[in-house]
Structure 1
Amino acid sequence: MKYAPLGSSDIALSKVIMGTWQTGKRMWVGIDDNESIAALRAAFDQGVTSFDTAEVYGNGHAERIIAKALGSQRKETVLLSKVFCNHLKRDQVFEACHRSLENLGTDVIDLYQIHWPAGTFNTPLVPIEETMSALVDLKQQGKIRGIGVSNFSRAQLEEALRFGPIDSVQPPYSLFWRMHDRELIPFCRDKNIAVLAYSPLAQGILADKFTADHQFEEGDHRAQHRLFAQPHWSRVQDALAQLRPIAADLGISMAQLALAWITHGPNHFAIAGARRPDQITNSAAAAAVTLDNGLWQQIAAIGDTVAVHLDDNPKQWAFAN
C-alpha cells in the first residue's frame, strides 16, 4: 500500500480508501454484516488504513460496523465520516458529529465532511457560513482533525473556503465520469486540496462485473445509474473492450487498472467499496500498480469516449433530482 498526506494537513491516508456505503445496507441488496466485517478486516490486513463512511449509510449502521470490525485498531486507522444535507444547521452539525463519534466508538473523527450541499434532495437551505462555523469549532474542540466537502462544485468549494480551511473534496470521479476535470480538480490541484474519488469503478462497471444485458435485483439503486442507460451503456461496452487488453498486458484486473488510473495523481485517492474480502483485496493491490504518463493518457482517452457524452450534472443516478 502507498500513503500520502491529505492535502496540507498532517493526516496520512492510504491511496486506496475503503468505502462503506454498501456496509450500511440501505439501497443495496444481499449485504451481510459478517461479510462486511470480514471485508473491513481484510482491507486493514492489506494495508488499507483509511475508511470512509457517513451518518446516512444505514442511519449509522455502517459506522457501527466499522467500530465492531476495527475498534481495536483505532490508533492505526483513519476514519472519515460525513454529515448529511438535512443536518447542516449549526446545532445539527454538532449533534450529527457526536452521534458519529458514538457510532464509531472514538473520541475524534479524522476527516469530517459535508456529504451534499445544503438544499440537495429538497433539504433546507442553510448558509455555508453557518455550517463551516460549526465544523471549524469542532476542529478547535478536537472532535475532528480535518474538514472536507463532498459533491461540491468549484463555486461551492470556493464559497466554503471563505469561512474556513478545506482539506479535501469527495466528488464522483472515474474513467467514465469526468465532468470535474474541467473546473473542480484543477482548482484543487492549485490549492493543494486532496481529491477523494468516490465511485472510481463506476459502481462496478469498471471492474467489468456486469454483462451487457445485466438486470439488477429489485431494490438495488444501481439500476438507476445513468451509465446503465442507453446510449451511454453501448459506449461503455465499447470502452471496456478497449481496456481489457491493456489490463491483460499489465497482468492486473480491470478494477486495478481503473483504480491505478485514479491514484496516479499525487493528491488523488480512490474510495473503493467492498462487500466481501476478495473485492477489497483486489482493490488494495491497485496501489502497487504504476502507470507511465503515456499509458495513463491512453487510458484517459478511452475513458473519454464515454465521459464526453455526459452533461454537467454530477449526480450519477436518475433518482437524484
Structure 2
Amino acid sequence: MEYRKLGESDLVVSAITFGAWAAGGWMWGKTERSEAVEAIRASYDQGVTSIDTAPIYGQGTSEEIVGEAIKDLPRDKVQILTKFGLRWDLAQGEFYFNSQDNQGKDIDIYRYASKDSIIQECENSLKRLGTDYIDLYQIHWSDKTIPIEESFEAVAQLIKEGKVRHAGVCNYTVAQMQEAERAVKLVSNQVPFSMVNREIENETVPHCIMHHKSILAYSPMERGLLTGKIKPGYKFEEGDHRAGHPHFQEDFIIKTNKMLDQIKPIAASKGVALSQLVLRWTVERPGITIALAGARNAQQAVQNARAMSFHLSQEELAIIDQAVEGLN
C-alpha cells in the first residue's frame, strides 16, 4: 500500500481508501452488516488504513458498521473520514431529494449546515463511530441557506475542542473552497472522478495543485461501471440507484465497454483485474491524492487494496490515457 499526506497537514492516509457508502446499504439495495464489517477488516489487513463514511449512508448504519469494524484496532493506526450537512431527521435548510431508508420508509433529505446542526451531527457521529475524534470532517454538499463561512466556524470550533483533526469539503467549487478558508484551513476536496467523469480536471484539479489541497476521488469505478461486468440489459436490485443513472443506460454502457476492451491487455499483462488497473490509473492522475473504493465483502475489499501492488510505466499510462480520451 502507498500512503499520502492530505494537503499540508500531518494526516497520512492510504492511497486506496475504503468507501463505506454501499456498506450502509442505502441506495445500493440490501447489504449484509457482518460482511461489511469483514470487508473493512480485510481492507485493513491489506494496508487500507483510511475509511470514508457519512451519517446519511444508511441513516447512521454505515458509521455504526465502521465503528464496529475498528473497535479492536489501534485508533492511531486508522483514519476516519466522515461528513456533515445532510439531514434526514429534521426538515431544515435546503431540500435536496426524496428517498427511502433501508426499511423502505419514505424520507426527505435536506442540505443543512448551521453551526448548531454541525455540532450535533459531530456528537452523533462520534457515538456511532465509537471514537472521541474524527480525522477528517467534510461538508457533504453545500447548503445555500447558511453562509459557508458560518458553517466552517463550527468546524474550526470542533478542531479547537479536539473532536476533529482536519477540515475538508466535498463537491465544492473553487469559489466555495476559498470562502470556507476564511474560517478554517482546508486540506482536501472530495469530488467525483473517473475515466468517464473528468470534469474536475478543468478547474478544481489545477486549483488544488496550486494551493496544495488534496483531491479525494470518489466513484473512481463509476459505481461499478468500470469493472467491465456491467453489460447492456443488466438488472439491478430493487432500491439500487444506478438503474436510472445516465451512465448505466445501454448506449453509454456499450461505449464504455469498448474503451475498457482497449486497456484489458494491460491488465492481463500485469495479471490483475480490470478494476485494479482502473484504480491504479486513477491515483496516478495529476492532482489525485487518493481513490475511494467501496466493497460489500472481504473479497472485493482485498482486490481493491491490491490495486497498489503493481506499477504502470509511462508508456502504459499513455495507452490508457489515449483510450480514455477516445470516449469524448
TM-score over 0.5 for the pair: yes
C-alpha separation in 2, matches of 1:63 and 1:180: 28
1:136-285 paired onto structure 2 within 5 Å: 136-265=156-285, 268-285=289-306
Q: How many residue pairs were aligned?
A: 302
How large is the Cα RMSD of the aligned pairs? 1.4
Q: Partner residue of 2:82?
A: 81
- Cα displacement (A) at 1:4: 1.2
Alpha carbons 1:173, 1:199 under 8 Å: kept: yes
Change in 2 beyond 3 A, CA 1:154/1:298:
farther
Alpha-carbon offset, residue 303 of structure 1: 1.8
> Could you give the per-residue CA deviations for residues 105-163 of structure 1, whole angstroms, max 9, x where no partner exists?
101000000011114xxxxx211011011111111111101111111122222222233
- Conserved 8 A contact 1:262-1:268: no
1:105 aligned to 130, 134, 137, which one?
A: 130
Q: Deviations over 1:248-272 (max 9, x none)?
A: 1222111111110111157510100
Quote the residue 1:116 is aligned against: 141
Deviations 1:171-207 (A, max 9, x none): 0101111000111011111111111110011111112
AA aligned opposite 2:325 = D
Amino acid at match of 2:271: G
Show the counterpart of 1:41.
Answer: 41
- Residue 59 (structure 2) aligns with: 59
Q: Which residue of 2 aligns with 1:314?
A: none
Instruction: Give SS of 1:204's match.
Output: helix
**Corresponding letter in the other structure for 2:214:** A
Gaps of 5+ in 2: 87-110
CA distance in 2, matches of 1:147, 1:66: 20
Query: How far is 1:299 from its partner?
Result: 1.1
Determine the structure 2 residue equivalent to 1:95. Answer: 120
Moved over 3 A (4+): none
Corresponding residue SS for 1:301: helix
Shift of 1:84: 2.6
Question: 1:230: Cα distance to partner?
Answer: 5.0
Alignment check: 8 A CA contact 2:29 2:240 kept: yes
User: Is the aligned partner of 1:304 residue 2:305?
Assistant: no
Q: Does the CA-based 8 Å contact 1:87-1:96 persist in structure 2?
A: no
Higher alpha-carbon deviation: 184-193 or 206-215: 206-215
- Encode CA deviations 1:31-73: one digit per residue, 9 max, x unaligned: 1001101101101111110000001111111111111111111
- What is the CA distance between 1:225 and its match in structure 2? 2.1
> What CA distance in whole angstroms lies between the structure 2 residues aligned with 1:153 and 1:134?
20
Contact 2:282 2:288 in 1 (8 A): no
Aligned-residue offset at 1:6: 1.1
TM-score under structure 1 normalisation? 0.90
Residue 290 (1) aligns with residue 311 (2): yes
Q: CA deviation at 1:246?
A: 1.9
Instruction: Tell me the TM-score normalised to structure 2 length.
Output: 0.88
**Structure 1 unmatched runs, 5+:** 120-124, 309-321
Query: 1:28·1:219 contact (CA, 8 Å) conserved in 2?
Result: yes
Deviation of 1:88 (Å): 0.3
Q: Which amino acid aligns with 2:25?
A: K
Q: Secondary structure at the match of 2:290?
A: strand
SS of aligned partner of 2:302: helix
Alpha-carbon separation, structure 2, partners of 1:233 and 1:253: 19
Higher strand proportion: 2
> Which letter does structure 2 place at the counterpart of 1:249?
S
Alignment match, 2:153 = 133
SS of equivalent to 1:197? strand
Report the Cα distance in structure 2 between the residues aligned to 1:297 and 1:186, rounded to whole angstroms: 20
